[in-house]
């Protein structure tokens, strides 16, 4: 029993010792921590590495601070890029939509030389070929440069991109256009073609007696279209008028005499066929059913009537003479005599001024009506209505000759060559 008691007492004693050691260790640990903190407060403190590892408090790592700073910098970068892109988008939109531009107008010219025409194949909705068509395309780089120089756009590349998407190269046409700074890209394209409100126009008067060459040269001088393009259209374009039905394409002279003399308004840089069509449309409008019936009654085509009218136009000094000169022409044709009209010889010498020379009278050409019998191959000019009516309604006379009276500026008419030659001997036609 005593042994058991001793044993129990030893157990409690051991427990007390362990408890005391633990408490003492905790106190010592606290003391060590307090001593270390005191040392850290001291400016002369230098601890060994072992102690610092044992008692160093928890701190944020360098890697954490670097990651946070990088995230901020990335965010700032993204924001800057976004602002720059937004500014660029606004600048592009402002140019495309013509926003915040000062009000002004500028005239731009698109010459025919920047346009090319090609034949392309056409297709229906199912992709089946339906034939071909002629397509005219503009050099949009030239157009963009012209608009930029005029101050109407700022960014050539943007305008060219818009034109490529919208196929603007097939929509604009040669010409001179008065464009507004308020026009956006779409409006600029729409207004660079004929019939648009911005197309510059020119009014041109063509007097009776001008031939096709003179008419086309005047159109070129006024900037409507080039002479060569007009001649090409006159030869090859298909004009749907009944009075041209018997004329073969490929020869520009098929239109000679049918370019009705009048005053017209053209677009500068107009399509040549469209410009020519104005003359033909005017001729068609002035050509009445009665005129066609009168030509048929005489057994003549309208081209032959216009050929006679063109000679009358060139020869007559005034309206009163026209029907009388017409009677001389018809009388000579009926008699199988050469017409002997000097104006026909001058037709093949457009640069010559004054009366025909002796050398011209010797030329073997169908336009030499002193040498050849009958009408010339084509009219020699565009006659007016008065001459056309005279060709359809000539006087009834026995005159076969006429000559200019230089003292009055009018013509004298004769029934025979003797009277004619006697009168001519009294005149000086130098």
Give the model confidence (pLDDT) of 161-201 as tens digits: 999 999 999 999 888 899 998 898 998 998 988 777 788 88
Residue 208 · residue 382 · CB < 8 Å: yes
Taking every pair of Cα atoms in the chain, the longest distance, rounded to a whole number of angstroms, is: 193
Residue 405 has pLDDT above 60, yes or no: yes
Q: How confident is the model at residue 33 (pLDDT cuts 50, 70, 90)?
A: very low
Residue 340 has pLDDT above 70, yes or no: yes
Q: Is the Cα torsion angle 40, 43, 49, 51 positive or negative in sign?
A: negative
Q: Which pLDDT does position 90 carry in this prediction?
A: 61
Residue 112 · residue 269 · CB < 8 Å: yes
Query: How many Cα atoms sit within 13 Å of 117 on the Cβ side?
Result: 9
Q: How confident is the model at residue 290 (pLDDT cuts 50, 70, 90)?
A: very high
Domain borders along the chain are 105-123+130-190, 201-286, 297-424
Residue 332 has pLDDT above 80, yes or no: yes
Residue 2 has pLDDT above 80, yes or no: no
Q: How confident is the model at residue 73 (pLDDT cuts 50, 70, 90)?
A: confident
> What percent of the chain has pLDDT above 70?
81
Contacts of 213 (CB under 8 A, 6+ apart): 350
Q: How confident is the model at residue 133 (pLDDT cuts 50, 70, 90)?
A: confident
Q: Which pLDDT does position 128 carry in this prediction?
A: 82
The three-class DSSP label of residue 168 is helix
Supply the pTM of this predicted model: 0.69
- The architecture that CATH gives domain 105-123+130-190 is 2-Layer Sandwich (3.30)
> What is the arithmetic mean of pLDDT over 333-354?
94
Give the model confidence (pLDDT) of 258-267 as tens digits: 999 999 999 8
- For residues 414 and 291, what is the distance between their CA atoms, to the nearest angstrom? 29
The overall average pLDDT reported for the chain is 84
Q: Which pLDDT does position 1 carry in this prediction?
A: 45
């Amino acid at each position: 029993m005593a042994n058991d008691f001793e044993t129990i007492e030893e157990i409690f004693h051991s427990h007390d010792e362990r408890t005391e050691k633990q408490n003492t260790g905790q106190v010592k640990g606290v003391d060590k921590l307090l001593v270390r903190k005191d040392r850290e407060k001291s400016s002369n403190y230098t601890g060994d590495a072992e102690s610092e590892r044992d008692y160093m408090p928890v701190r944020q790592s360098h890697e954490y601070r670097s990651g946070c700073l990088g995230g901020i910098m990335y965010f700032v970068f993204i924001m800057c890029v976004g602002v720059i892109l937004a500014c660029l988008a606004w600048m592009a939109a402002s140019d495309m939509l013509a926003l915040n531009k000062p009000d002004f107008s500028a005239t731009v010219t698109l010459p025919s030389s920047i346009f090319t025409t090609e034949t392309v194949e056409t297709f229906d909705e199912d992709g089946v070929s339906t034939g071909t068509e002629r397509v005219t395309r503009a050099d949009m780089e030239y157009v963009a440069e012209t608009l930029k120089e005029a101050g109407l756009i700022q960014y050539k590349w943007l305008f060219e991109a818009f034109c490529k998407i919208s196929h603007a190269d097939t929509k604009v046409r040669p010409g001179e256009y008065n464009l507004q700074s308020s026009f956006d890209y779409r409006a600029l394209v729409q207004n660079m073609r004929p019939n648009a409100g911005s197309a510059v126009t020119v009014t041109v008067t063509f007097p009776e007696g001008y031939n096709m060459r003179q008419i086309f040269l005047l159109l070129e001088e006024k900037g409507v279209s080039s002479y060569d393009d007009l001649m090409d259209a006159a030869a090859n374009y298909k004009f749907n008028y009944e009075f041209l039905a018997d004329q073969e394409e490929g020869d520009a002279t098929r239109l000679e005499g049918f370019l009705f003399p009048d005053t017209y308004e053209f677009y500068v840089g107009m399509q040549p066929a469209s410009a020519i069509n104005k003359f033909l449309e005017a001729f068609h409008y002035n050509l009445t059913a009665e005129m066609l019936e009168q030509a048929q009654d005489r057994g003549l085509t309208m081209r032959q009537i216009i050929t006679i009218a063109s000679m009358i136009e060139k020869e007559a000094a005034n309206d009163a003479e026209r029907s009388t000169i017409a009677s001389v022409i018809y009388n000579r044709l009926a008699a199988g005599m050469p017409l002997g009209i000097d104006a026909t010889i001058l037709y093949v010498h457009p640069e010559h001024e004054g009366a025909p020379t002796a050398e011209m009278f010797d030329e073997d050409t169908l336009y030499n009506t002193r040498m050849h019998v009958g009408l010339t191959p084509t009219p020699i000019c565009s006659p007016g209505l008065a001459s056309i009516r005279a060709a359809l309604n000539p006087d009834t006379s026995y005159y076969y000759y006429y000559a200019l009276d230089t003292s009055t500026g009018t013509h004298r008419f004769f029934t025979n060559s003797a009277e004619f030659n006697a009168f001519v001997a009294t005149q000086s036609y130098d």
